[in-house]
Amino acid sequence: MTEAKRFMALLRNLNACPEATGWARGKDLRTAWTTCDRGDWLFWLAGRMADQPGWPTRRQIVLAACACAETALKYVKPGEDRPRVAIETARAWVRGDASVEDVRVARKNAAAAYAAADAARAKARAECLELIRRELPEPQWSEEAGGK
């Protein structure tokens, strides 16, 4: 099986959206990872494959998500600390200093602040693509992962 077919099989197995599978057709994992202009797709793929051999760990993905979320902080109105607290809480979880429940509560509190900042998210999303590539190691195929 060619690398491109192997990658397509993985995307289908993970139920990737038709738009993503259409874009990825004929591309191998490395080409897709280095040429994709949709950070959200890369994040989705890394998240679905988290902790599989050759893929980023869940903790690496959380740290990358924190770095992406920080790009939106400049659009949050002064004095609104809930998004920053949510990011700090997620980083504390990575260090082992917060529980998953702490992260859920902080995220719920921050959601209200981010809901009012949809335009800010669009601007920040564009900045996240390079952050994702910088923060997450490029995935590698592993026979242990069995394509997943």
In this predicted model, what pLDDT tens digit does every residue of 101-113 receive, in sequence order? 999 999 988 877 6
67 residue type, one letter: A
pLDDT, residue 18, reads: 96
Amino acid 41: pLDDT: 92
128, 68 Cβ separation under 8 angstroms: yes
Tokens 């959601």 sit on residue: 111
Contact 20, 43 (CB under 8 A): no
Domain boundaries, the chain: 3-56+138-145, 58-130
Could you read off the pLDDT of 65-84 as tens digits, one per residue?
999 888 888 878 888 899 99
CA 58 to chain centre: 10
pTM comes to 0.76
Look over the chain and give the mean of its residue pLDDT values, rounded to a whole number.
88
> For residue 122, with 0-12 CB atoms within 10 Å meaning exposed, 13-18 middle and 19 or more buried, which class applies?
exposed
> Under a CB-based contact definition with an 8 Å cutoff, are residues 49 and 55 in contact?
yes
